[in-house]
Structures are given as C-alpha cells and as structure tokens.
Structure 1
Amino acid sequence: MTADLTSLLAGARIMPVLTVPDAATAAPLAEALATGGVRCAEVTFRTPDAEQALKAMTAHGGLTVGAGTVLTPEQAERAVSAGARFVVSPGFDAEVIARCRELGVPMVPGIATATELMRALGSGLHKVKLFPAEQLGGTGMLKALAAPFPQARFVPTGGIGPAHLTGYLSHPAVLAVGGSWMASAGHLERGDYDGIRRLTAEAVERSTP
C-alpha cells in the first residue's frame, strides 16, 4: 500500500530541495538541516552522487528524505532502493507514476497548467508540485489554479526564497514549500553548515503559525 505524503510530512511545511554534488557532504548536511528544525528534504537526481547522498541522509534518521527531478521509472527504482520515501518529478509522466505505485511510494508530479493539474487529479494524485512556481506567476498563479480545483494540494517550488514564504504558506491549498536557498551550491562548496542550519531555522520559524 502506498504511503500518504501528508503523513510523511507530518505537518512539516518547509522542504529543502538539495542538489548534492559530493556524497561526502550528505551526512553533515543532514545534521545541519535536522538541527535547524526541518523534518523532510528532497535530494534531486541531478548529480552522479545523488543515490549515495540519499543513502547517507536517510541513514541520519532525523529526516524523511525523498528524491526529486525523477524523470524515468528506472530513476524511481534507484531512488527507492537508495531509501527515498517519496518521489518528486518536474512534470507529469504516467510511467513514473505507475512505477511509484508499484513501489509503494508517494509520487508528486510537477504541473504548470490547469490541463496538467487535471491530468494529475484524473490519475488520483491530489498533491502536486507547482513548478517553476515563481516563474509561472507566484502566488497569483497558485490562487488561480487552486480556485477551480479545491481538492488539490500544492508544493510550490522554483525560484522561491525566504521573502516569498509567507505568501505561499498563508494559502490553505499549500501543503509545503520547497526551496534551495537553505542549502545552496555555495553553502556546500564552502562547507558552511552553520549557515545552512541558520537559514533552515529561520525558514522553519517563518512557517510556524
């Protein structure tokens, strides 16, 4: 039976979106994020070390870790084998969705239009990634899509920074907000885990009612 994304998030409304170029940074990164107060993170399948980073972050135990930028069923299989508890894609792909269901993990497809949202809802997926959120129009686009589809819940991602959080999180259709500013490529290159912890803590504080 496929787990439910809402239960995996357990009320967490901030989801760091991580591109980890070196798996050696994954363990201290997980520690910094967990210490900062987040409970959920997405590791993108954009680097050769993505699977190893997933394994290392899952082993930390303080985070629910999923895989992002999953484009094929084969990537979904590799992600789940590495410990991913959920799968996120930038778009809608029926084969990826079907494979995730077989694997028993929640799948969050990316949508950018009403047509794509209708395809997701028609496939039984009510939780979607609005991507790229800011480039699509930000909270204005979110409100426009949420109005005719009250059953949908959104995870806006793409171009979002701390200044945008309140606007997104105040909308009842938003399940969580994804962003990369908390652990950027620069932070990881410098080994600035204190900076990651600080930005994460600030984001978590902003997300708390």
Structure 2
Amino acid sequence: MKKISEVMGKQQLLPIIQADNEADGVAIARAMSEAGLTTVEVVLRTEHSAKCISAIKAALPHMIVSAGTVIDKASLDAAINAGADFIVTPAVTERLLTMLVASGLPVLPGVSNVSDIVLAREHGFREMKLFPASLSGGAAFLKAVGGLFKDTRFCPTGGVSPDNFNDYLALNNVFAAGGTWVAKPQWVADKQWDLITQACLQV
C-alpha cells in the first residue's frame, strides 16, 4: 500500500475542502491548484461531498483528491465510488481498520492517543492523522510519542493554523499538516477564490 507521504510528494499542507455543492468544490480546488497544490481532502460532511470529489477529479484531472471523514462502510463505499485517490478517517476501530485495509486504497487513519496508534500499527499503518490535534496534545504529544514509535509519522489536523503550522512541521515525525484556514467558509460564500489561492501561497 502506497504511503500518503509518497502520494503527496513535497506538499506539506493537506488543505481541507468543505463545499455545499459541486461548483464550489471545483472552484475551491482550482484556487488551491493555482497556488501549486496538487493534493486536497474533501470531507464527507454533506450530501454533495462525494459528488464534489468526482467533479474535482473530472475538472482537474491532475489533482489527487482524498475523501475525509470516512467513519463506516457507507462513507467508505461513497468515497470509493466517487473515485477518491486515498482515504482519511477521524478515528479508528478494529472493524473500520479491517475495511480500510481491504479497500486497497492508501489510507491516513485518524488517531488521538497512544492506544489508537498501536491499533493502527497492528493493521500495518505507519502514517496517521492526529485528530483533533490541538485537543489531543498537539506538538507536545507528537514529540513525546516520537521515541515510542520511531517508524511512525503523522499529519496533524484540527486546530492547525498559520500560528502553529511550522511548529508541527519542525517535528521529525510530522510529514504534513491538514487545515481549513486556507478556505474559510466566508470566502467560499462570497466566492472570493483569490483569497484561497493567496492563503495557500503563504503556507
């Protein structure tokens, strides 16, 4: 199974797209693409989310589009059917991890404590999402577990901002960080796509 860090290449920001319709989803992704980003995460939180994944892949075929907020078989199936390139989860369970492995897709499982990390490792994962990062110990937690899990790397998400983004990336066991601040809901509502591009360029 390909590692998420290999999928993302040199990109260290995993920008999160939340859109109420396909047109906005494509516009957000295009704005991010214009900033040089090639990998995005579309969270499956609305009835149009899966359609956004398909629409972005059709409009911007060079982009790698992941599906976030995968929590069960229904959301995993929706992500796969939409053509997601990889899967991101907010949490892990024995059952969910078994389904994720069986999917054959690259996966970034969400963990929030040491037990979650061990569980994900037992299923073969060595790259994980720390979520919600700010409420799960943040950079201090990742620094603390670095010695325990020397071959495990993380993509913290949840509470990541321009103020702490570089603090996370300074850690040896962090390969990227996810965030929503580069596509604020008000910018999307006002269709200020250029502000999204600018925010991504500043990372």
Instruction: Sort the TM-score into its range (normalised by shorter chain).
Output: over 0.9
Asked if 1:23 corresponds to 2:50, the answer is: no
TM-score (norm 2): 0.94
User: In percent, how many aligned pairs have the same letter?
Assistant: 28
Q: What is the CA–CA distance in structure 2 between the aligned matches of 1:40 and 1:69, rounded to whole Å?
A: 16
Q: Is the 8 A contact 1:112 1:136 kept in 2?
A: yes
What pairs with 1:136-147 in structure 2 (closer than 5 Å)? 136-147=136-147
1:3 paired to 2:5? no
Residue 138 of structure 1: how far off its partner (Å): 1.8
Distance, in Å, in 1 between the alignment partners of 2:169 and 2:3 is 20
Mapped to 2, the partners of 1:196 and 1:87 lie a distance apart of 23
What whole-Å deviation, never above 9, does each CA across 1:87-128 have from its counterpart, x for those lacking one?
A: 111100233333333332012111111111111111111111
Where do residues 26-105 of structure 1 align in structure 2 (5 Å cutoff)?
26-59=25-58, 60-105=60-105
Measure how far apart 1:8 and its partner are: 1.0
Partner Cα distance (1:18, 1:50) in 2: 9
Where does 1:86-125 land on structure 2 (aligned, <5 Å)? 86-125=86-125
Alpha-carbon distance in structure 2 between the residues aligned to 1:97 and 1:136: 20
8 A Cα contact 1:93 1:109, kept in partner = no
RMSD of equivalent CA atoms? 1.3
**Match of 2:44, as an amino acid?**
F
Q: Counterparts of 1:155-194 in structure 2 under 5 Å?
A: 155-194=155-194
SS of residue matched to 1:162: coil
Quote the Cα distance in structure 1 between the aligned partners of 2:116 and 2:101: 19
Q: Which amino acid aligns with 1:145?
A: V
8 Å Cα contact 2:94-2:119 kept in structure 1: no
Which amino acid letter does the alignment assign opposite residue 161 of structure 2? Answer: G
Unaligned runs of 5+ in 2: none
- Secondary structure at 2:65 match in 1: strand
Paired residues of 1:73 and 1:95 also in contact (CA < 8 A): no
Q: CA deviation at 1:75?
A: 1.2
Total equivalences in the alignment: 202
What is the identity, as a one-letter code, of the residue corresponding to 2:91? G
Quote the Cα distance in structure 1 between the aligned partners of 2:163 and 2:140: 15
